[in-house]
Structure 1
């Protein structure tokens, strides 16, 4: 499994995921906000299945020396 989520994309996924899960846990948002676990997981793991399907990546390109 190659990482395809990097940098700012990864940080945003983690922050948004934590925000949604926290809001659902406190009752501020409906239980549907627990779907925030998806961006949280992809941000923590560094791999997004839809990105893999379409061949997209936000990771920096590593140059061979």
Structure 2
């Protein structure tokens, strides 16, 4: 598993993941406060944080995308 996520991409993923989790659990957005939208936002937020943490995105590998330097 080689890194395929660059620094800017990594920071953006982490910020988006944290924002989704904050919206889902913080109640800032009523549409994401309950039900399926909440858990979808949680799942996407966790995946975004996870891929930012390990610097690897499986979809990037499938489509042969790299945002980091080789």
CA RMSD of the aligned region, Å? 1.1
Higher normalized helix content (fraction of residues): 2
Deviates more, 1:25-34 or 1:9-18: 25-34
State the aligned residue count: 61
Task: Give the TM-score normalised by the residue count of structure 2.
Answer: 0.78
The list of structure 1 runs, each at least 4 consecutive aligned residues, that deviate by more than 4 angstroms after superposition, is: none
Cα drift, residue 49 of structure 1? 0.4
Structure 2, unaligned stretches of length 5 or more?
33-37
Task: Give the TM-score normalised by the residue count of structure 1.
Answer: 0.83
